[in-house]
Amino acid sequence: MSNLSQISSDRPLLLIGCGKMGGAMLQGWLKAGLSVSAVKIVDPYLKGVRELLPDLKEDCFAEKLSDLPEGLVPGFIVLAVKPQMMDDATAGLKAIDCTDGVFLSIAAGKTIGYFERHLGANAAIIRAMPNTPAAIGQGITVGCPNKNVSASQKAVCHDLLLAAGIVEWVAEETLIDAVTAVSGSGPAYVFHLVEALADAGVAVGLPAELAKKLALHTVSGAGALLAQSDQDATELRINVTSPNGTTEAALKVLMGEQGLGKLMGEAVLAAHNRSKELAD
């Protein structure tokens, strides 16, 4: 039975920010059995939210935190606003009774320390880093709780994050910078791989549209195969590489001293260092 059953209309889930990521997660929660009466949504652009979720009742929505019903005591508060909007969100939360509530943030760069400064040292806080495939339920999210989060609260948040895909946990928040560099920023690396592969196809004579289609489906198909296979990436690479064949010729370039491994290491390190600089 899903831990989402612990969320009720008496202690509802408060979702602050219902854009692409927040909206996708909410749709996942509702599909997983979360009651519509157990959700309150705060978003300044309610027209789009209502269109996305036409079955929700009008009293589920509010444009501002100050518009929420008086006496509301949320059990779980999911912060899905952009980092630059977080100061306003945390300031507005001070007027709401969040006693024994859990704050789950999916905002990049906002640390547990930031939330403890704004919400109180005793607040139960989970910092989570999803990636963009979470918008279609195919992402991976890594969470880190502070010392105030109980095992049962963490279990509910685990099920909330499952709406975005796979969920993993770390005990050390410093690892979130590395997570950001690998999986948070990682989809952009894959998208650029598609761009580069398509451009290379054009360079050897393919029509541009065909090159784009070949690159797209090669990358997405290979990813799907890897996800469904009981073999790891190394084994699959070896399987497709015939001795003295075309793939081997290409891999001698990609796996050379100045190849993809070196470039990827430098790229991830740059993202990791920037994540540390942006931490608030």
Give the mean pLDDT of 268-280.
90
Q: Is 108 helix (H, G, I), strand (E, B) or coil?
A: coil
How far is 235 from 214, CA to CA, in rounded Å?
A: 23
Phi and psi at residue 12, in whole multiples of 5°? -70, 170
Q: Which residue has the higher pLDDT, 223 or 20?
A: 223
Give the mean pLDDT of 21-44.
89
How far is 208 from 185, CA to CA, in rounded Å?
A: 27
Give the mean pLDDT of 54-73.
87
User: pLDDT band at 30, cuts 50/70/90?
Assistant: confident
Predicted confidence at residue 1, as pLDDT, reads: 47
CA 169: distance to chain centroid? 13
**Tens of pLDDT, residues 114-165:** 999 999 999 999 999 999 998 888 999 999 999 999 999 999 999 999 988 9
For 95, half-sphere exposure in the C-beta direction (CA atoms, 13 angstrom radius) is 11
How far is 278 from 148, CA to CA, in rounded Å?
A: 25
- The pTM of this model reads 0.89
Residue 233 in this model has a pLDDT that exceeds 90: yes
CA quadruple 239, 240, 246, 248: dihedral positive or negative? negative
User: pLDDT band at 36, cuts 50/70/90?
Assistant: confident
The domains located in the chain, with CATH, are 3-173 (3.40.50.720), 186-278 (1.10.3730.10)
- Determine contact, residues 76/102, Cβ cutoff 8 Å: yes
How far is 82 from 238, CA to CA, in rounded Å?
A: 42
Residues of the chain with pLDDT > 70: what percent? 100
Q: What is the mean pLDDT of the chain?
A: 93
What's the Rg (C-alpha) of the chain?
A: 22
Q: Is 50 helix (H, G, I), strand (E, B) or coil?
A: helix
Residue 207 in this model has a pLDDT that exceeds 50: yes
CB atoms within 10 A of CB 60: 18
